[in-house]
Structure 1
Amino acid sequence: MDDVLTGQVWTDFCQALERAGKVVLRETAPATPLDRAEGFRYLTRLVREMLYSTVENADPDFPRLRALDLVKIGADNPDNVYLSATIRGDRTYRITGRRGTIAYFSIGSKANRYAKDGTMASTGELSNNQLAANSDGTITIIASATPHEGNWLPLAPDSTGIVIRQSYLDRSTEVPGEWHIERISEGPEVPGPLDPAFLAKALQRAALAVHGTAATFAHWTELFMSHPNELPDFGQEMFQRAGGDPEIFYLHGYWTLQPGEAWVIETEVPDCPYWNFQLDNWWMESLDHTHRITVNKRTAVVDAGRVTIVVADKDPGWGNWIDTAGHTSGTALLRWLGATHHPIPHCKVVRS
């Protein structure tokens, strides 16, 4: 392929990444040194993840479940262990493993279109209460386009990936499961040599995915900015189209605070197996997990079925404190998982 021989494929890749950098410099994004540095670090994380999924782990005949390594996309959950694998909708796969003791498990097949239109449609889902274990305690899941007995994960013609979410309530005591994936439909026994045409397309897809992902969630933040210091229901369809868990009701928001101010969030807590609140930066990355930036059903102090969350740069000594970790603005998310009732919080800004 001429573009590979001449090096044009690499030049095009680098130039596409340069264009992606303009997302960080958009007028609506905060121009503080911290926020801008996090924006460019966000792009480096996206580059690493997209290359890892489009070049190194892109063969749907030889899939491998891989963990995200400090890659934070679209309000990643600090309580989650994420695993993903590249697949094709016309193949059949077997996923095997043990459930572990972690509080919540779900697996979904996805059609990743971030590079095209900013969506990641769900094409099949399985969760905790739908899984049946084998006699030895292991779990076997078949992912295919045609129905299968037992634990069946549907695939669609345009399915491109499988995503496993495992959510902690208590990291100090719970153990996540261990999972493996293999293709069981007909196909090659060993991978072939690198195809130059594949590499050219993979680099193009990676660059488009970096730009598309960054732009998608920047647009989301700009939407959230229309209701500062609130957690309204912006409608669930947009979040589901971007790869959200169908069992989760998402309440996203944008926050901005002056020195000495606190954002107070008060809400009823519905009966559900899991919920959490987290604080994110402008790029919708969860803040540094070494700070107190999240609470969930197990770690929050709840009083008579209600919870008060206080976002501030210092602990005010009341409520469930969430540390802004050096930021003065950003995004946030409250998740209700598996609830039949979805309370909308009352929010206000007070002097701390």
Structure 2
Amino acid sequence: MTDNAAARERLMAGEAWNDFCDTMRAAGQVVIDRTPDADEQDRVEGFRYLTRMSLMAYMRCIENLPPMEKRSIWVIPPPMKGGQGVQSPDQDHVVQPIDAAKRYRVTGQRGSAPYVHMSAWTPKVPDWVGVDSVGDRAVAVLEEFNPSWSQTPFTALLDEFTDGAGNVDFVLSADNPGVDNWMPVAPETRELMMRIVYDDRDAQSSPRLVIEPLEPTPVIHTPDAADMSKRLAIAAQMVLSVQSDYADWTDTLAKAENQLQLTTEHYLRVGGSPDDRHFEFGYWRIGDGEALVVEFKPPVCRHWNFQLCNHWMENLANYFTGQGYASSQDVQADADGVVLLVVAAEKPTSGTWVDTAGRDHGVMGLRFVEHESIPEIVTKLVRLSDLG
């Protein structure tokens, strides 16, 4: 029996769906097992996080449709403004599914957002997916089958393909098409990821791009049974891998509370692109009347930001209103060029307040984009009353 025939048979017999449900149950068990001290708010947010990641996986894996004959327009910003994995509130993630066996042409307008970074999203999806059962061994095969463990072998700035009038035009393909404006992808690449960073969302415009295949590509509205078997497996495993990978990362950070550190292995595992940014992470915890002070002298850089997240690495709920967040566009350094951030439940008498929105623990991150040097970062836990 061919792989396609076996995958089709599993879908038609209901085995692919049973696998999907078993893997989703394993993802829920991560929330149950990894909620610290059975904290009620962390448990609630853990299950909410699970449903949000399910929506993300359904859109990226089940509804996944690479560009066909009809032109695909990248809609920016995306329907859900991200907040997972310490994503910056000043940044949008845009994901465009592609078939790496095809060549695509991307055209349109650059927009005025100052920084647009692209990467070839290349996850670990072995050939047997959809053909062999995963189910009760989903956790055991994460090292081999991990859709969120996405390497980004090729990256580029959109500026590299933009002319003086702001027009974008480049070819996206695994094979060199013999043109100068080419962004390569790997044969296993499933998506093109775009990170757009704004200084001022109200005043700056996002890129408006069209992607279309260069070879004839028939429009397919519904996947066949074999393809659907694979899509179900990838979707469920993506939810599990996101839950598991970020829980492992959080456990590592929690071993050194109130410190910022490089955790490069975890960052790369979830598809981080460190080629033009310096990103440090930590686990913050403050008691009644306490404050966490974060002090550094920003280097020359495109942008920096500091943010607080909950235990599951989601941005605090009110980050668009300023709670739990500070950035280079709204923080003034002192006369010596030093920034003093104060993480506290109440407004301090000195420094820039990072409001915890009534929380006392979670994940934090400090990033510098297109930095010329790496700053020294000092963190210390103090009594709020001692700040003056």
- Tell me the TM-score normalized by structure 2: 0.83
- Equivalent residue in structure 1 for 2:21, among 7, 14, 35: 14
Give the C-alpha shift of residue 170 in structure 1.
1.9
Counterpart residue number, 1:332: 364
Q: Which amino acid aligns with 1:133?
A: D
Q: Which amino acid aligns with 1:111?
A: T
Percent of residue pairs identical: 31
Instruction: Output aligned runs, 1:186-335, within 5 Å.
Output: 186-191=215-220, 193-234=222-263, 236-245=264-273, 246-288=275-317, 289=319, 290-303=321-334, 304-335=336-367
Q: Which amino acid aligns with 2:340?
A: T
Q: Which amino acid aligns with 2:325?
A: T
Q: Are the counterparts in 1 of residues 66 and 96 from structure 2 also a CA contact under 8 Å?
A: no
User: CA offsets, 1:291-319, max 9 Å, x none?
Assistant: 42222211112123211111111221421
Count of residue pairs brought into register by the alignment: 349
User: CA offsets, 1:160-199, max 9 Å, x none?
Assistant: 1101111111223222222222222x24232164301211
Instruction: Output aligned runs, 1:1-352, within 5 Å.
Output: 1-27=8-34, 29=36, 31-59=38-66, 61=68, 65=74, 67=78, 69-113=80-124, 116-117=145-146, 119-127=149-157, 130-133=160-163, 136-147=165-176, 148-184=178-214, 186-191=215-220, 193-234=222-263, 236-245=264-273, 246-288=275-317, 289=319, 290-303=321-334, 304-352=336-384
- 4+ residue segments displaced more than 6 Å: none
Distance 2:114 2:251 in 1: 33
Give the C-alpha shift of residue 60 in structure 1.
6.1
Q: Are the counterparts in 2 of residues 64 and 86 from structure 1 also a CA contact under 8 Å?
A: no
Structure 1 residues 311 and 144, CA gap change in structure 2 (3 angstroms): same
Distance 1:150 1:287 in 2: 43
User: CA offsets, 1:177-232, max 9 Å, x none?
Assistant: 22222222x24232164301211211111111100111001111111112110112
Q: Are the counterparts in 2 of residues 95 and 140 from structure 1 also a CA contact under 8 Å?
A: yes
Distance 1:315 1:300 in 2: 15
Q: Are the counterparts in 2 of residues 313 and 324 from structure 1 also a CA contact under 8 Å?
A: yes
Structure 1 residues 128 and 195, CA gap change in structure 2 (3 angstroms): closer
Range moving further from structure 2, 124-133 or 245-254: 124-133
SS of the counterpart of 1:26? Answer: helix
Give the C-alpha shift of residue 143 in structure 1.
1.1
Instruction: Give the number of the structure whose residues are more often strand, by fraction.
Output: 1
Please, what is the CA RMSD of the aligned residues? Answer: 2.2
- Tell me the TM-score normalized by structure 1: 0.91
Q: Are the counterparts in 2 of residues 122 and 241 from structure 1 also a CA contact under 8 Å?
A: no
Q: Which amino acid aligns with 2:153?
A: T
Counterpart residue number, 2:129: none
**Rg: which structure is higher?**
2
Q: Any unmatched runs of 5+ in structure 2?
A: 1-7, 126-141
Distance 1:125 1:244 in 2: 11
Q: Any unmatched runs of 5+ in structure 1?
A: none
